[in-house]
Amino acid sequence: MGARGQVTDLLAQVIHEARTDVIYACGPMGMLRAVTRLASRYEIPVQALVEESMACGIGVCMTCVLPVVGEDGVTRMARSCVDGPVFRGDLVRWDDVGTIPFDALGAPGWKPRAQPKPPAKPPAASTPPPGRQKPVRSAGRRGHGR
């Protein structure tokens, strides 16, 4: 019963036979990297539960950090005990686990990328031109206007 070998040896077959929509994986970092890489070929999302050493379990000691790309495209060192332990596989920088990538937020020598400035907003139509005041209505007694 079962099959001898690595999980990824049979994963492509399982993806086709089960018509897989998402993959949930837990295991060593190398296996999670391989599962995520294979799933990306089929454009299937991976929810990866990382097995990092968690000394304190509350995010203070920083022993469980791994590089994860945020929605803004910036890599941050995420604490797996607090921010995880489940991460989107495509956002984890698997090849950089165990290091602090040079382009990670807060890494030595890191500099923020220049953000494009938002376009200037034209003045709202209800704003009076400079030098003219908007007429003020008297509210009457206790805010009840007539």
pLDDT of residue 146: 46
Where do the domains of the chain lie? 7-109
List pLDDT tens digits, range 94-111: 999 999 999 999 888 777
Positive or negative: CA dihedral 77, 82, 88, 89: positive
Q: Which residues partner with 23 through β-bridges?
A: 46
List pLDDT tens digits, range 55-64: 888 889 888 9
pLDDT of residue 108: 83
DSSP calls for 66-129: EEEE-TTS-EEEEETTTT-SEEEGGGB-GGGTTS--TTBTT-TT--PPPPPPPPPPPPPTTSPP
Banded model confidence at residue 141, pLDDT cuts 50, 70, 90: low
pLDDT of residue 59: 87
Percent share of the chain, pLDDT over 70: 75
Which are the contacts of 86, defined by CB distance < 8 A and separation ≥ 6? 47, 48, 49, 50
